Amino acid sequence: MSDSDHRSKNLGPNTQLVRAGYDPFDYHGFINPPTVRASTVLFPNAAAMETHSQKYTYATRGTPTTDALCDAVNALEGAAGTILVPSGLAAVTLAFLAYLSPGDHVLIVDSVYGNVRHFCDTMLKRFGVEVEYYDPSVGAAIETLFKPNTRLVHLEAPGSNTFEMQDVPAIAAVAHRHDAVVTMDNAWATPLYFRPLDFGVDISIQASTKYPAGHSDILLGTVSANAEHWKRLRQANGALGICGAADDAYQVLRGLRTMGVRLERHQSGALEIARWLEARSEVARVLHPALPSFPGHDIWKRDFKGASGVFSFVLAVARKDEFKAKAQSFLDGLSLFGLGYSWGGFSSLALHVDLEERRILQAPDEGPVLRLHIGLEDVADLKADLAKGFAALQ
Ligand SMILES: Cc1ncc(COP(=O)(O)O)c(C=O)c1O
């Protein structure tokens, strides 16, 4: 973990991505930082050991490699401090554990990442925390859901699988009036396209597994706090001992250097395919916040600087009892798109979305929802592959 690094504050986003977090002349000019694999840190004498009067004391509390990544993320998020944890899911659960106590009430967006819902419905409930889901479109009307014991509001925008947008500043303002902490899962946009802390969020969460790592071979999460919340987050991290490994931090920092160009390509490919899908008769609706037809588009345009490569579409299927079979025929007709969950890598993915756990939002009745992650392949090849999926419906 590391405190904020303001050295690259005034640089453009891509320049920051290339430079942030590490000065090559801190380590003999080598352009990438060393991978410091460690548990033990030695002290030169007993007095230094007693007073901890040196920067590093124990590797769960950070190493030069994990600090390089944390400093880079601080610069990108505009954060006071960042911790690393072993997955995006752990990044959310650690943030919750940092704040919640038995008897607290939490407000969780209904379009939340499914495994976070599972954590809330199992462990949080077991620990005596009252969990309530809210409609992502609620905006300032979230006020009506507050109780005297509401301690935390969790946002995720766009929402998982169905991509609902949220009025982040309106929700954050209400939460702060009620002394609740605001956490946000920002894995879809990354801090390049949306900076939660600039919009009133207290704790910004990234699944670095996705675009920051970018190659489908690393699991890592980051939790970044504003100045008010950094101390508490850092203490919770120290108490729990959940930390990121040096090799993974090295790979994610390496990934950040190219994330800007990769995201531009994910964005343009996804948008081209989303528009192409909108024009197809087999498609009922495309769920992509950057499309003017999408209900949350105005908020996306107001607050976000770009769109990444994950979105969904609703296949037009007349009979509900055929939804699953048609979705599976479509998926089995694909060959370039892999069938897999963890998006953000170089290759395209597809899956049939399961919306059964939703409490407030209704699954579309026009047909099954299929989620795509558009990778870095040539768009013409991906369209041809999707056309094969449509042909397989016949
Ligand atoms: C929005 C979102 N947040 C968090 C995660 C969890 O990330 P990880 O796979 O690193 O646990 C995912 C994974 O798909 C996700 O889609």
Rounded to an integer, what distance in angstroms lies between the CA atom of residue 231 and that of residue 189? 26
Ligand 1 pocket mutation pick from 119, 156, 210 by most atoms within 8 angstroms of CB? 210
Rounded to an integer, what distance in angstroms lies between the CA atom of residue 334 and that of residue 316? 18
Kindly state the tokens that stand for 386.
């999707």
Q: What is the pLDDT of residues 70-128, one digit of tens each?
A: 999 999 999 999 999 999 999 999 999 999 999 999 999 999 999 999 999 999 999 99
Cα-to-centroid distance, 185 and ligand 1 (Å): 9
The tens-digit pLDDT sequence of the chain (394 residues) is: 444 444 446 789 999 999 999 999 999 999 999 999 999 999 999 999 999 999 999 999 999 999 999 999 999 999 999 999 999 999 999 999 999 999 999 999 999 999 999 999 999 999 999 999 999 999 999 999 999 999 999 999 999 999 999 999 999 999 999 999 999 999 999 999 999 999 999 999 999 999 999 999 999 999 999 999 999 999 999 999 999 999 999 999 999 999 999 999 999 999 999 999 999 999 999 999 999 999 999 999 999 999 999 999 999 999 999 999 999 999 999 999 999 999 999 999 999 999 999 999 999 999 999 999 999 999 999 999 999 999 999 9
**How large is the C-alpha radius of gyration of the chain?**
22
Task: Evaluate: CB of 160 within 6 angstroms of ligand 1.
Answer: yes
CATH number for the domain running over 10-255: 3.40.640.10
Containing 85, the helix (H) or strand (E) segment is: strand 81-85
Ligand 1 pocket mutation pick from 84, 87, 92, 113 by most atoms within 8 angstroms of CB? 113
Residue ranges per domain, the chain? 10-255, 259-391
Q: In Å, how far are 81, 288, 392 from 312, measured between CA atoms? A: 34, 7, 19
Q: Are 182 and 155 in contact (CB under 8 A)?
A: yes
Atom of ligand 1 nearest to the CA of 341: 14
Task: Evaluate: CB of 205 within 6 angstroms of ligand 1.
Answer: no
Task: Evaluate: CB of 111 within 6 angstroms of ligand 1.
Answer: no
Cis geometry, peptide bond prior to residue 191 (ω within 30 degrees of 0): no
Amino acid at 372: L
CATH number for the domain running over 259-391: 3.90.1150.10
Read off the pTM.
0.96
Q: Is there a common fold for 10-255 and 259-391?
A: no
Atom of ligand 1 nearest to the CA of 219: 10
Amino acid at 205: I
Task: Evaluate: CB of 219 within 6 angstroms of ligand 1.
Answer: yes
Report CA torsion sign: 216, 67, 94, 289.
Answer: negative
Task: Evaluate: CB of 244 within 6 angstroms of ligand 1.
Answer: no
Cα-to-centroid distance, 169 and ligand 1 (Å): 23
Rounded to an integer, what distance in angstroms lies between the CA atom of residue 69 and that of residue 75? 10
